[in-house]
C-alpha cells in the first residue's frame, strides 16, 4: 500500500523514539492487569547472566513468545527454576526495555504448570484455613457411639454407596440411613456436595454424616479441596466423617472433618458398632462385674474376720464390764455425797429458820411482850419521850390497844461502886 506524502499534514515537530518508547512504557507499566499477571507457557530458551536469569516463554504451538527475566535477588525465592522444555506458570509484571524498544516480563515467582498450580492453591487455602482455626483439633467433635439415624453423601452410581449399605446392614441391622445423592467428580461436584450437606442439615434427623467417594486419580478428587466444600464440612452442625478412598494425600475436607478414614467401608465401620462386638463387650462387662463383686465380697469377709480376731485380742467384753462396774461405783459415790450435802443443807436451813423465828417481832409479842408506838407510828423506847395525856397505841400478840398517859414514872437510879483514894 502506498500513499502520496502530500496527502498528510506534516506537524512542526515529530515524537522522538525515546518519547514514543517512554509513552509505551507508561501505558504498559501503569496497566493494573499487567502490573501483576500470571502467564503460562513453555520455556524455549534460558541463559544465565551476571544480573539474573533470562529466558523465553512461548505457547506450545510456537505462535507467540515473550522474553522474561528473573533478577538474582529473586531467584532463590522461585518454587521452580526455569528449564528449557518445561511448562511453567509465572507471576510477574510487564516492563519495557528502552534500548531495544522491547517489552519483557519481570518474573517474581515460577511454578510447574498443572499439578504445580493445584499444589500452590492447595497450600494457600490450607494456610488460610489454619489461620482461621478450622484445622484445630480442638474443634473436632466426637462421633455418637450408637447413632440411630445416619446420612450418607456420595454418588448414587458409585461403588462407595453399595459398600456402605452392605457394611451397615451387616454390622447394625435396623439402622435408619438417609441418602443424600451428590456428584463427587467434575466441575459440578463442589456445588452438588454443598447442597447435599445442606439438605441433611435442614432435615435434622441425622446424628452423623458420611461423606465418601470410592477413590480415583488426584485430579478427580479436586472437589474435596474446593473451598466451598471445605467450609461446608467445617461449618456443618452435624459431625462428619470422610471416607474418600485415597491414602497418598490428605484432602482439605479430611483435615476439617471431625474424623477421616481412607475408605467408605472403613467410614461405615467407624460410624456404627457391630452387634457381635456389642454382645461380646456386654459379656465381658458381665464377667468383669462378677469378678469385681466377688473381689469386694472377699475383701469385706477378710475385713470382718480381721475385726473379729482383733475384738478377741482386745477382750472388749471384759473392758466393758470393768467400765460398767466403775460407773456403778461412781454412781453410788455420787448418791452418797449428794445425800450428805442434802442433809447438811437441811440442818443449816433449820438453824436459819429457828434464828429467823427468834428474831421475828411477832414471835416476841406472842410470848407476852408488847410494842408501844406514838400516834405517828414511832416506837417508844424511853418514858422521857412521853408527855402526860399523850395517846399511845400498844401492839399485842393479838390486836392493838389505845391508852393515854396518866403518870410518868422515872426509872430508879443505879448505885455504882465508889473508889476512895486517900
Higher-pLDDT residue of 5 and 421 is: 5
Q: Is the separation of the CB atoms in 74 and 107 below 8 Å?
A: yes
Q: What is the predicted pLDDT for the residue at 420?
A: 42
CATH number at residue 267: 3.40.50.2300
Q: Which of 370, 350, 349, 352 is nearest to 361 (CA)?
A: 370
Read off the pLDDT band of 113 (50, 70, 90).
Answer: confident
Arithmetic mean of pLDDT, 327-335:
90
Higher-pLDDT residue of 161 and 220 is: 161
One domain, residues 250 and 302 = no
One domain, residues 264 and 293 = no
Across the strands, what pairs with 67? 56
Does residue 232 belong to any structural domain of this protein?
Answer: yes
Distance CA 315, CA 326 (A): 17
Arithmetic mean of pLDDT, 236-256:
84
One domain, residues 106 and 233 = no
Q: What is the predicted pLDDT for the residue at 217?
A: 65
Q: What is the predicted pLDDT for the residue at 244?
A: 86
Residue 91 has pLDDT above 80, yes or no: yes
Domain ends where: 328, 353, 378?
A: 353
DSSP of 15-76, one letter per residue?
--HHHHHHHHHHHHHT-HHHHSEEEEEEEEEEEEETTEEEEEEE-TTSS-EEEEEEETTTGG
The least confident of 91-95, 101-105, 201-205, 380-384 is 380-384
One domain, residues 64 and 177 = no
Domain ends where: 78, 113, 148?
A: 113
pLDDT more than 70, % of the chain: 87
Residue 6 has pLDDT above 80, yes or no: no
406: number of Cβ within 10 Å: 7
Q: What is the predicted pLDDT for the residue at 145?
A: 87
32-56 tens-digit pLDDT:
888 889 999 989 899 999 999 999 9
Distance CA 213, CA 198 (A): 18
Domain ends where: 305, 325, 353?
A: 353
Read off the pLDDT band of 419 (50, 70, 90).
Answer: very low
Domain that residue 287 falls in = 283-314
One domain, residues 93 and 55 = yes
Does residue 49 belong to any structural domain of this protein?
Answer: yes
One domain, residues 44 and 167 = no
Does residue 411 belong to any structural domain of this protein?
Answer: no
One domain, residues 157 and 232 = yes
Total count of domains within the chain:
4
Q: Is the separation of the CB atoms in 245 and 213 below 8 Å?
A: yes
Per-chain mean pLDDT for the chain: 84
The least confident of 75-79, 129-133, 218-222, 319-323 is 218-222
One domain, residues 107 and 153 = no
137-194 tens-digit pLDDT:
999 999 998 899 999 999 998 888 999 999 999 888 889 999 999 999 888 999 999 9
C-alpha cell at position 354: 429457828
Residue 10 has pLDDT above 70, yes or no: no
Q: Which of 213, 208, 178 is nearest to 273 (CA)?
A: 208
Does residue 345 belong to any structural domain of this protein?
Answer: yes
Residue 206 has pLDDT above 90, yes or no: yes
Amino acid at each position: 500500500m502506498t500513499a502520496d506524502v502530500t496527502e498528510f499534514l506534516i506537524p512542526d515537530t515529530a515524537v522522538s523514539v525515546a518519547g514514543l518508547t517512554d509513552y509505551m512504557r507508561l501505558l504498559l507499566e501503569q496497566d493494573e492487569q499487567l502490573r501483576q499477571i500470571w502467564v503460562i507457557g513453555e520455556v524455549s530458551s534460558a541463559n544465565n547472566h551476571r544480573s539474573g536469569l533470562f529466558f523465553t516463554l512461548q505457547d506450545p504451538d510456537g505462535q507467540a513468545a515473550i522474553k522474561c527475566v528473573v533478577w538474582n535477588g529473586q531467584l532463590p525465592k522461585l518454587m521452580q527454576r526455569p528449564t528449557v522444555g518445561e511448562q511453567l506458570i509465572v507471576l510477574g509484571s510487564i516492563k519495557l526495555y528502552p534500548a531495544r524498544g522491547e517489552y519483557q516480563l519481570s518474573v517474581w515467582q515460577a511454578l510447574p504448570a498443572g499439578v504445580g498450580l493445584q499444589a500452590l492453591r492447595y497450600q494457600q487455602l490450607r494456610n488460610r484455613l489454619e489461620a482461621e482455626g478450622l484445622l484445630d483439633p480442638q474443634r473436632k467433635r466426637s462421633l455418637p457411639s450408637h447413632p440411630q439415624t445416619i446420612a450418607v453423601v456420595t454418588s448414587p452410581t458409585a461403588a462407595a454407596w453399595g459398600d456402605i449399605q452392605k457394611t451397615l446392614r451387616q454390622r447394625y441391622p435396623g439402622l435408619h440411613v438417609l441418602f443424600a445423592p451428590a456428584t463427587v467428580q467434575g466441575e459440578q461436584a463442589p456445588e452438588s456436595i454443598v447442597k447435599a450437606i445442606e439438605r441433611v442439615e435442614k432435615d435434622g434427623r441425622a446424628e452423623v454424616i458420611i461423606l465418601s467417594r470410592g477413590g480415583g486419580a488426584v485430579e478427580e478428587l479436586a472437589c474435596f479441596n474446593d473451598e466451598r466444600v471445605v467450609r461446608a464440612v467445617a461449618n456443618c452442625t452435624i459431625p462428619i466423617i470422610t471416607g474418600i478412598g485415597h491414602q497418598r494425600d490428605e484432602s482439605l475436607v479430611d483435615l476439617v472433618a471431625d474424623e477421616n478414614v481412607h475408605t467408605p467401608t472403613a467410614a461405615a465401620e467407624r460410624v456404627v458398632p457391630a452387634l457381635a462386638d456389642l454382645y461380646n463387650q456386654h459379656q465381658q462387662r458381665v464377667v468383669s462385674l462378677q469378678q469385681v463383686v466377688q473381689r469386694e465380697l472377699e475383701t469385706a469377709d477378710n475385713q470382718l474376720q480381721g475385726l473379729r480376731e482383733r475384738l478377741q485380742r482386745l477382750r472388749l467384753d471384759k473392758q466393758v464390764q470393768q467400765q460398767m462396774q466403775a460407773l456403778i461405783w461412781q454412781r453410788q459415790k455420787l448418791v452418797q455425797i449428794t445425800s450428805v450435802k442434802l442433809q447438811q443443807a437441811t440442818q443449816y436451813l433449820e438453824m436459819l429458820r429457828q434464828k429467823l423465828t427468834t428474831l421475828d417481832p411477832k414471835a416476841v409479842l406472842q410470848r407476852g411482850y408488847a410494842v408501844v408506838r406514838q400516834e405517828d407510828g414511832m416506837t417508844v423506847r424511853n418514858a422521857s419521850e412521853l408527855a402526860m395525856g399523850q395517846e399511845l397505841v400498844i401492839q399485842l400478840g393479838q390486836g392493838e390497844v389505845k391508852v393515854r398517859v396518866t403518870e410518868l414514872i422515872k426509872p430508879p437510879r443505879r448505885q455504882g461502886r465508889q473508889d476512895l483514894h486517900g
